A and B are shown apart, each in its own frame.
Chain A
C-alpha cells in the first residue's frame, strides 16, 4: 500500500508569482484535504476534495484553489503569492469525506518560501 506523496519537497517563489503543489492520495482513498502550517502553528484547513468536487473550504481567499483528478490525486494552486503564504503545505487523504472519524493520512508536506 502506497502512502500519501507530495511534490515538490521544497519550493522558492517570489511575491506575485503562482505555484502548483501536487498530492497523490493513498491507495483506495477518494478524499483529499489540504492544510497550511505556518511556522510555530498547527495545520489550518484550506479545503477538501471528494470525488473531484470541492467539499468544504476553510477561511482562505479565492486565490487558493484546487483540483482533484479521476485517480483522486490533487493539486493546490496559489495565485498572486504573498509573503505570508510561506508555510508547509500538507495534504491528507482519507477513505470517505462523510465520516468525521475517518482517519486522515498525511503526506510529508511541501515547504513553500515566498521572497
Chain B
C-alpha cells in the first residue's frame, strides 16, 4: 500500500536552530516525493520536489530509498518558516495523484 507517514504533529524550535521535519513513505515502485507548505491563511503550495534537487527558502530534502525517507531540513530556522508542512508522494502511472501525510506544524519561536 502507498502511504506517507509524518510522525510529528508539532515541531517547535527557536529561531536560528536547525530544523528537520521527518517523512517516511511506503511504495513498491519508484516514487516522486514532494514537500508542500501551507502558511497561515494561504493556500497549499509546493515547496520542493526531490527530482529538482534544489534548495528553496533554505530548505533541502534528500530521498533515501534505503530508509524510505524524505526528511526536510533547514540549518537555521526563521520565524517566517512557521507553517504546516505536508510530505506527499506521487505514484508513477496514469494519474499524478498525490498521497499526503498528516502534516507537521512547524512553530519557530523568537
Interface size on B, residues (CB 8 A): 25
Q: B-side interface residues toward A, CB under 8 Å?
A: 4, 6, 32, 43-46, 49, 51, 86, 88, 90-103
Bound complex: CA A92 to CA B43 (Å)? 11
Surface stretch bound by B, among A14-22, A61-69, A98-106: A98-106
Check if A45 sits within 8 Å of B99, measured CB to CB.
yes
Partner of B102, one of A40, A104, A108: A40
Asked whether any CB of chain B lies closer than 8 Å to the CB of A48, the reply is: yes
B94, A56: Cβ atoms closer than 8 Å: yes
The answer to whether A101 touches B102 (Cβ under 8 A) is: no
Q: Give A18-62 interface residues, CB cut-off 8 Å to B.
A: 31, 33, 35, 40-45, 48, 50, 55-56, 58
The 4 tightest CB contacts between A and B, nearest first, are A42-B100, A56-B95, A106-B44, A100-B90
A100→B100 contact, CB < 8 A: no
Q: Is the CB of A106 within 8 A of B45?
A: yes
Q: Which residues of B lie under 8 Å from residue A97 when comparing CB positions?
A: 94-96
Count the A residues whose beta carbon is within 8 Å of the partner chain — how many? Answer: 31
B16 → chain A closest CB, angstroms: 29
A-chain residues with CB within 8 Å of residue B94 when the two chains form the complex: 55-56, 97-98
Q: Please tell me if the beta carbons of B44 and A48 are within 8 angstroms of each other in the complex.
A: no
Could you jot down 17 A-B contacts, CB within 8 Å?
A: A33-B96, A42-B6, A43-B86, A44-B100, A45-B98, A45-B99, A55-B94, A55-B95, A97-B95, A98-B96, A100-B93, A100-B96, A101-B32, A101-B51, A104-B46, A104-B96, A106-B43
- B-binding residues in A (CB < 8 A): 4, 31, 33, 35, 40-45, 48, 50, 55-56, 58, 90, 92, 94, 97-109
